[in-house]
Structure 1
Amino acid sequence: MALLHAKQVTKAELDAQLKSQREWAGDIFIPPFGVIQRNIFDESIAGRAVKQYLSAQLINVDAASGGGVAHEGIGRRREKETLEQIRAASDIVDVIGSYLPLKRAGANFVTLCPFHKEKTPSFNVNPHRQIFHCFGCHKGGDVFSFVQEYENLTFTEAVRRLAERARIPLEFETDPAQQRNRFLKETLLQIHEQITQRWQAALANDAAGQIARDYLEKRGVSDEAVKLFRLGYAPEAWDDTVNWAKSKAYELPVVEQAGLVLRKEGSDHYYDRFRGRLIFPICDEQGRVIGFSARVLSGDEKAAKYVNSPETPVFTKGKVLFALDKARRAMLDRGFAIVCEGQLDTIACHMGGVCNAVAPQGTALTAEHSRILKRYVDEVVLCFDSDSAGRNAAIRALDDLLASGLAIRVASVPAPHDPDSFIKQSGDAAFQQLIERAEGFFDFYLNHLCATNDVAQDKGRMAVVRAMGEALHKTGDAVLADTYAQKTAQRLGVLAEAVRAEFKKLPAPRRAEGVTEAPAGTPEPQVRPSTQEFWLLKLLLLDDELPEWASAHLDLDWVQHAVVRQVISARLTARPDGLRPAVTALLAELDDATARSLVTEAVSEQREIPNRNQQLADIVKRLRDQFVDRQSARLAHRMSQPDAPDSERIELLKQQQALRQLKKQPLVPRDPNPAS
């Protein structure tokens, strides 16, 4: 099938083709998300053949859907098949066990819940059902929802993460270009991992690596930190990496794409990018090495202090935060992130027990960095050097951080220190106090503006007011703006009304692209279902034979709890193949977190249920009788109303008597088509 230069076939265009064409002369490509496309070079798709093809593939043309051709067969089926393939390749015990220490408890596994603080393990992993459930905080789901929750990802990102782990391509197309791109990325990641191991060994064992070992000892970097951050040493030779790549049968142009070697201008000769330097591997959020930052160790004043990887198919510096893979759990636990200027400052923080520290990689903080941070935390503490460069770095981060909606504080490290030297001189506890006492960004910014402008002059005061107003306006927070209008006025000795008036002259604020605000508030806690309704749900989920009986005898109106009713309805609904959804499929269909939690709780409890058929019948009958009692009470209430006419009372009394008789009757199959 042709995949290049595809364009969407609209309903109008398809109709025109159906009227005018009578011969097949083209092909159709169905991508995974339901839009039919065709080769732009072929303008003679035959109407009859197209119509037959669409009919054979269960395709509907819906004019109201925006003019495209909606596919209900292959595209959706392929998508579901791929998800099931990823699920089958991602055993939940293996996946969760890669994050948490699991301990076997009977047929299941348990551990301390990562989503709330507890002392006794209540987090349960069920290998048979491939689900997890916490009996403490009631979070539950399948392997996709665990990765989504633990990694703080969207569902799509969680699917991609597991697909990469299982080496399953998400692209449904057989586009050779996409396949080549995917293979290239896998090769580059492999090269990065192997050269990292080589440089680690050079640092640990080679005589030439002594200069790097001496430097790390001088900087107080522990052996544990060297191992954790996988630090290495790139030998001084110009062709060490070149020769290594040849020995591994890697094509040098591919190694060049990895950013490890450079081609000599005007020739086919290559030489090493990183030579005689301390190597800091840069990892993605999964901990895979995607690039390097290398510090000079010699006294060569002409050499750049740091050499960084160029941007490659696997590395974009504006989208990477150093140590994020090691810091993200602590960021989630503590609720804020510390942003340092460089790798050594970040490593020093982690050595001092401040494990929620990260650093931008070879660039100032960007909107993408802010978006990444916002996924994990709502607050950022900037911890830069105390000199003017450090203050300017904090201010350069202003636009994107404020526009992201992140709360910002600034920890000012006393001169002449940077975070690394401060920790070494004053200790871990002093640094943690420094972080705890970090001032709000706008207090820091107001102090900075007043120190760098002549506030004794009108021009200087106006510069302070305008700069504060522009910064506050980016937050879109009217209360914050009013608070700092008063503080700015007090600091400058002017009227607060005058400052507010200047603030109002500024244009409307703009949020950073791709950044969304967090929803206000949290969902209301759900009322627990009754014991009977919970056990009804449990029985129907645990036993694949019971749903057939229940679908014939249970009226969903008898179930009061809305979420239980929703889940049971989904469980009892037969698919086109006549089968009912299994627990894993049910979890995939449920968007509501409460519904997923009830499902996982119901199937995670390990109590044996004897006489399941009889228990189900007893529960359904009790639910029916309770429904009858509620209806009878409603009728009695209406009959007691003074405005109820006698004719209505007589009719209501008949209904009440019929309900009393119903309670005396055994359960019988419901009429699937009751008269209206």
Structure 2
Amino acid sequence: MDIYEVISEFVDLKKSGSSYKALSPFTDEKTPSFMVSPSKNIFKCFSTGKGGDPITFLMELDGLSYMEALKFLAQKYGIELEEEVQTEEQVNAQNERESLFITLNYAKDHFVSNLWESEEGRNIGLTYFKERSFSEETIKTFELGYALDQWQGLMDASAKKGYNETYLARAGLKIVKEDKAYDRFRGRVTFPIHNVSGKVIAFGARTLKSNEKGPKYLNSPETELYTKSKILYGIFQAKNEIRNQANCYLVEGYTDVISLYQGGIKNVVASSGTSLTEDQIKLIKRYTENVTVLFDGDKAGIKASMRGIDMMLSGGLNVKAVRFPEGEDPDSYSKQLGGTAFKAYLDENSLDFISFKTELYITGTNDPIKRAEAIREIVHSISLIPDPIKRTVYVQQCSNKLGIEEGTLISELNKLLIKESQKNSYSSNSGRSQGSNPAPSGGFFPPDFQGGMPPFGMEPPPDLFADPQDLLEEKVSPNEVIRNQERESIRMLINYGEEMIDGFEGTETHLANYILTECEDIEFTTSIYERILNLFKEKLVDGQVLNLKDLLNHDDDEIKREAVNLSTERYELSHNWSDKFQISVAHERDSLRTSAMGNILRLKFRIIQKMIAENMEKMKTATDDNEIDGFLSIQKDLKEMEMAIAKELGNVTVK
């Protein structure tokens, strides 16, 4: 299956040379570090270290097991699966997750059955939904149901069907207190919560009793399958329409989603009444960068929700907002206007965040202090936008709309950007050295402002700016240097092992054969590289060359991860260098034999240097003359080998 086709459904990929790049779907970042290579059928996220094939991507993205991801792709592409042998541990883990999914799906079916087939369900649950003007088709689309007003209704029904009570508790459907156990949801209409693949992972439930002492809405607790902050209600039903419409409507509650969906607005999701989270923003961003937030008419409630808009701006989303008349919400107003008129209302009243905040904070007030505070609040929101061009446009708009000099706004914006940059630079949680975090790129900083950013905002290679004297003095440990050289040998094997080169005595041979022959007397010290090297050796015995696909299909997850790491380039030169500007740039592919030989010589050179150092240490503690003479003889031989390799490498001096 084509990795581009799979990933492009979840991530907005942009062409970059022969590969594609995008903002990472796994973390919050301002510049792209996520790369997809169609030719190798792999992805690599440099900001998190995740990488692999299409199956791995789905596993990492949605927390699916291997078999779940495989079945999802097989169903999508109409492929018949041949079950492969799994380890006992994999089988047990898969069975546990499948049991939870099966239990939750049974509970959903049970609640649906109650709604349509039981007298209590029809009289209370179905009547409520129809009073909300939900059609039967809509009720079935969202798989709405009803939990009977019984302490153990679901428990008893599931026991008769042979379901394990343990999974009822683990799925959040059963509450156990000391010697008592009872259903979590009783006498409530139920709203199944689906993951992006359409599987039920949790429930929301609403009481219909006016004298209920507990909360009106009750939600499943967080479980192995359900993390509330990472899911949006309605995302399964809405994801395709969000992508098609290039916009996502964001509301608060379950019934808001259902009413809008029924009215023809299907690109709508809800944060389920909780504050918006970074994970939910990333989930939206998989499908679109455009969000329209629908607020209830309550002005105080809207102001309390402003943090969500700022989070979305910071997350790189383009934010608009719609406010309804006092006392109305998306659910009530959509029913009042009807589908077509409601859609027209959204289009006509959708405001960008500056216009929205201006209307909310400034319109109707002549207090200069409040006005200044409101303007500062708007500038703060602009400062959160990662795209410098968008910031520029919004500053101009803010200036025109509020009648404030653009220079004044820029000055205030610079203060905020510099302050944020300094905070990041000295953050102990950044994981970088002091002062290494650049300021937001492309801001309004003066020319002498000390900022900067490597290409695509990524970290430079670790030794790129190293002090040469540090390298000469070997401040990096010999073992680490050797490990790096072993890594280079394996990298060349994975990327170019099948390439033909001029080999021994003028005959053509695979690069893999050449490298393995030259490394015959070298014992690799890094376990993962030794294992990969041995796989190449085993394959070569049969006259074949191991390739990337073989490694990606290997049972060992560590081998698969390392294969992805070593086969993915973080940077790629544009074809324009040669095609458009006729600038010739050398590539190691053009001189594979020389590159491979140089790397093997450097590896041998480092190994010998380590042996020299170890031999010297032994000589220092030797007391017997014969033993000392033996060490001196070894030292002489090692130094001669060191000098010979140094000469081949072109080194002027050696230590």
Query: Does structure 1 residue 189 correspond to structure 2 residue 101?
Result: yes
Q: Is the 8 A contact 1:308 1:362 kept in 2?
A: no
Hey, which bits of structure 1, 4+ residues long, moved more than 6 A?
113-116, 139-145, 148-152, 167-173, 517-520, 553-556, 580-592
After TM superposition, list the pairs within 5 Å mapping 1:438-587 onto structure 2. 438-451=350-363, 455-489=365-399, 493-506=403-416, 507-508=419-420, 576=540, 578-579=543-544
Q: Partners in 2 of 1:389 and 1:152 — Cα distance?
A: 45
Alignment of 1:359-508 (within 5 A): 359-388=270-299, 391-392=302-303, 394-437=305-348, 438-451=350-363, 455-489=365-399, 493-506=403-416, 507-508=419-420
SS in 2 for 1:195: helix
Using the alignment, how far apart are the partners of 1:365 and 1:421 within structure 2?
22
1:206 deviates by 0.8
Cα drift, residue 214 of structure 1: 0.8
Match of 2:188 in 1: 277
**Aligned pair in 2 of structure 1 residues 219, 169: CA closer, same or farther (>3 Å)?**
farther
The CA deviation string for residues 501-525 of structure 1, in whole angstroms up to 9 with x for no partner, is 23322222699x99xx9998xxxxx
Q: Per the alignment, in what secondary structure is the counterpart of residue 190 of structure 2?
A: strand
The CA distance in 2 between the partners of 1:195 and 1:273, in whole Å, is 12
Deviation at 1:393, TM superposition (A): 6.0
**Quick one: distance in 2 between partners of 1:402 and 1:357?**
19
Residues 332 and 488 from structure 1, CA distance in 2 versus in 1: closer, same or farther, beyond 3 angstroms? closer
Deviation at 1:317, TM superposition (A): 0.5
Report whether the alignment pairs 1:164 with 2:61. no
User: In structure 2, how many angstroms separate the alpha carbons of the residues matched to 1:230 and 1:141?
Assistant: 41
1:622 maps to: none
Contact 2:53 2:552 in 1 (8 A): no
Partner of 2:436: none
Partner SS state of residue 209, structure 2: coil
Give the SS at the match of 1:220. coil
Per the TM alignment, residue 338 of structure 1 is displaced from its structure 2 partner at its CA by: 1.4
Contact map agreement 1:233 1:277 (CA 8 A) in 2: yes
Tell whether the 8 Å contact from 1:317 to 1:362 is kept in structure 2 after alignment: no
From 239, 264, 271, the counterpart of 1:353: 264
1:29-67 deviations in Å (ceiling 9; x for gaps): xxxxxxxxxxxxxxxxxxxxxxxxxxxxxxxxxxxxxxx
Matching of residues 71-110 of structure 1 within 5 Å: none
Deviation at 1:194, TM superposition (A): 0.6
Cα-to-partner distance string for 1:574-607 (whole Å, 9 max, x where unaligned): 9636347899879999979xxxxxxxxxxxxxxx
Structural RMSD (CA) = 5.0
* Equivalent residue pairs, number: 421
SS at match of 2:106: helix
Whether the 8 Å contact between 1:144 and 1:158 is mirrored in structure 2 is no
Tell whether the 8 Å contact from 1:283 to 1:291 is kept in structure 2 after alignment. Answer: yes
C-alpha contact 1:234 1:278 (8 A) present in aligned 2: yes
- Within 1, Cα distance between the matches of 2:279 and 2:132? 31
SS in 1 for 2:189: strand
Distance 2:346 2:508 in 1: 60
Residue matched to 1:613: none
Q: Distance in 2 between matches of 1:466 and 1:435?
A: 28
CA 1:402/1:114 → structure 2, altered by over 3 Å: closer, same or farther? closer
- The unaligned stretches of length 5 or more in structure 1 are 1-91, 100-112, 117-138, 521-546, 557-573, 593-676
Matches of 2:273 and 2:329 in 1, distance apart? 18
Q: 1:204 to 1:462 in 2, by over 3 A?
A: same
Shift of 1:173: 9.4
Q: 1:317 to 1:160 in 2, by over 3 A?
A: closer
Identity of counterpart residues, as a percentage?
28
8 A Cα contact 2:67 2:94, kept in partner:
no
> Cα–Cα, structure 1 residues 407 and 161, in superposed 2: closer, same or farther, change >3 Å?
farther
What residue identity is the alignment partner of 2:312? Answer: L
Offset at residue 459 of structure 1 (A)? 2.3
From 309, 314, 327, the counterpart of 2:225: 314
> Following TM superposition, by how much is the alpha carbon of 1:262 offset from its aligned partner in structure 2, in angstroms?
1.6
Residues 378, 241 of structure 1: alpha-carbon distance in 2 compared, 3 angstrom cutoff: same
Higher relative contact order (CA 8 A, sep 6+): 2
Distance change in 2, residues 1:430/1:585 (3 Å):
farther
In structure 2, give the amino acid aligned to 1:337. C
Distance in 1 between the 2:326 and 2:54 partners? Answer: 39
* Counterpart-to-counterpart distance in 2, 1:303 and 1:188: 27
TM-score normalised by the chain length of structure 2:
0.54
Distance 2:222 2:330 in 1: 28
Deviation digits for residues 250-272 of structure 1 (CA, Å, limit 9, x no counterpart): 454542222112223xx311122
Counterpart of 1:462, as a letter, is A
TM-score, normalization by structure 1? 0.52
1:189 and 1:237 mapped to 2: Cα distance?
Answer: 23
> Quick check: 2:59–2:69 contact (8 Å CA) kept in 1?
no
Matched, 1:241 2:167: no
Show CA shifts across 1:277-320 (max 9, x none): 11000011111111000011222253421111111111110011
Q: Is the 8 A contact 2:207 2:217 kept in 1?
A: yes
Structure 1 residues 284 and 159: alpha-carbon distance in aligned structure 2, compared to 1, 3 A threshold: closer
- The answer to whether the Cα contact below 8 Å between 1:163 and 1:169 also exists between their aligned partners in 2 is no
Distance 1:299 1:311 in 2: 27
Residues 234 and 276, structure 1, Cα contact 8 Å, conserved in 2? yes
Structure 1 pair 350/321, CA: closer, same or farther in 2 (3 Å)? same
1:332 is aligned to 243
Distance 1:410 1:314 in 2: 32
For the Cα contact (< 8 Å) 1:455–1:492, is it kept in 2?
Answer: no
Show the counterpart of 2:168: 255
**What 5-or-longer segments of structure 2 have no aligned partner?**
13-36, 44-51, 72-82, 431-439, 442-454, 457-498, 501-506, 511-537, 554-563, 570-655
1:208: how far off?
0.7
